[in-house]
Amino acid sequence: MSLDLLPSLDPADGEVATAELVVEDDVLVKLFALGPGGSFDPHVHDDCENVFHLLEGQVTVTQDDQEEVLEAPAVVHNARGVEHGARNESDDRALLTASLCPLP
């Protein structure tokens, strides 16, 4: 899979665009492009690990009741059962992947 689709994901303010990069029996890698003000709500994966790879920009990552502002490049491990989410509070697009294994 080529990352040629990265430039084509250009969400408007407040929006999130997604693409599935890898879908196999035991792993899912999904790309999230967060426009300025874009976010995905905190949620939990009880049956799998989740790892964010921040490729471009800046996001505020939440884990349970903690928050941290990260700049690319960065990696965040979201352990099973930990509520997690991300939001883009900057004026530029942010790109991150979320890898889930094994698949939920």
Q: Running along the chain, 104 residues long, what does each successive block of 10 average in pLDDT?
A: 66 94 90 96 94 97 97 97 97 96 73
**pLDDT, tens digit, 9 for 90 and up, residues 37-65:** 999 999 999 999 999 999 999 999 999 99
Quick one: pLDDT at residue 18? Answer: 92
Q: What kind of fold does domain 16-65+72-101 have according to CATH?
A: Jelly Rolls (2.60.120)
Are residues 88 and 57 in contact, defined by beta-carbon separation less than 8 angstroms? yes
Q: What is the rounded CA–CA span in Å between residue 45 and residue 38?
A: 21
Cross-strand bridge partners of residue 52: 76, 98
Listed residue (40, 52, 36, 63) closest to 97, CA to CA: 52
| Residue from 57, 64, 56, 60 nearest 80 by CA | 64
The pLDDT assigned to 29 comes to 92
